[in-house]
Amino acid sequence: MMRNTSPVGWVPLLAIKVLFEGSLCPFLLAAVVVAVPIMLFTVAIDTWFYLGAVNGKDWVFTSYNFVQMNLVDGLSKFFGTDPWWFYLVVFAPAIFTAMYPAMLTSLFTHLRSMYSKGQTPYLAYYNAFYLLVFSAIPHKEMRFLLPIVPFAFIMISELLSQTIKSGGCQATLASVSIKLFIVVEMAILATVTMFHQRNWEWEHYLTRVKGEPIHSVYTTDSYGSPHFSWFHGTGARVNLVTLNPQ
């Protein structure tokens, strides 16, 4: 399943559709025909893989456990906490780079454009609500913002298109922003590819270059690289070391 908190931005959209646009019956129909069967199926899969069997008595509700541990019990704080403004000041600029000013501006221009047409600004509502909710959660990570990226760039493209069509200095600024964004993204891609994401090189050296039998591998990185894929079939045992101060 998707991350449990990813659908947060859809809550106000669903509320608008049900409360103000007469979509209660289609919503209930979709819930019964689509949502509930999918949820039951995923619960059965989780139960099967975690407990080894589906006996009808013991069930694994991954979504409930996720919410209970991370939000209710607040255990996510052990992964680190940041102030409420961290997404807006640090992570969002890191994602949108040169387009960050356009992203902020597009929230307001999209609202104005949709209101002038008598339409609901779903994209702005989604992004604003998502940022609001996630900013209230102490534990923050850059990847948590990924669900808003496609919708944000739709609004950005709408803003840039309207600005370029209007001509003048603003059109020139928009054109320069696009070119600058492309250059910055290419530089980031090159840096990440050549320097940052290189944690596979030691595995390649041990399994392909050194040519000696490998008995054991000890690493603290349990998720950044597919260790088990590299050492599968070599007879090596991969040990994930936890840096527990106790």
DSSP string, 188-222: HHHHIIIIIS-TTHHHHIIIIIS-S---EEEES-S
> CA 139, CA 137: separation in Å to the nearest integer?
6
Q: Is 125 within the bounds of a domain?
A: yes
Q: Is 12 within the bounds of a domain?
A: yes
Residue where one domain finishes, among candidates 73, 101, 117: 73
pLDDT higher than 50, residue 1? no
- Same-domain pairing of 109 and 43: no
pLDDT higher than 60, residue 243? no
Q: Is 169 within the bounds of a domain?
A: yes
Q: Is 151 within the bounds of a domain?
A: yes
- Same-domain pairing of 145 and 213: no
Domain count, the chain: 3
pLDDT higher than 70, residue 164? yes
Q: Is 246 within the bounds of a domain?
A: no
Domain span holding position 230: 201-240
> What's the whole-number mean pLDDT along residues 180-192?
92
pLDDT the model gives residue 145: 93
pLDDT higher than 80, residue 188? yes
Q: Is 245 within the bounds of a domain?
A: no
- Same-domain pairing of 187 and 100: yes
Tell me the pLDDT band of 220, cut-offs 50, 70 and 90. Answer: low
**CB within 8 Å of 188: residues ≥ 6 apart:** 97
- Same-domain pairing of 129 and 141: yes
pLDDT digits (tens, 9 = 90+) for 110-147: 999 999 999 999 999 999 999 999 998 888 999 899 99
- Same-domain pairing of 118 and 191: yes
- Same-domain pairing of 87 and 189: yes
Residue where one domain finishes, among candidates 55, 73, 91: 73
Residue ranges of alpha helices (H) inside 140-167 are 149-166
Handedness of CA 226, 204, 191, 218 (dihedral sign): positive
- Same-domain pairing of 86 and 189: yes
- Same-domain pairing of 87 and 192: yes
Residue where one domain finishes, among candidates 28, 55, 73: 73
pLDDT digits (tens, 9 = 90+) for 62-99: 888 887 877 788 777 777 889 999 999 999 999 999 99
- Same-domain pairing of 131 and 185: yes
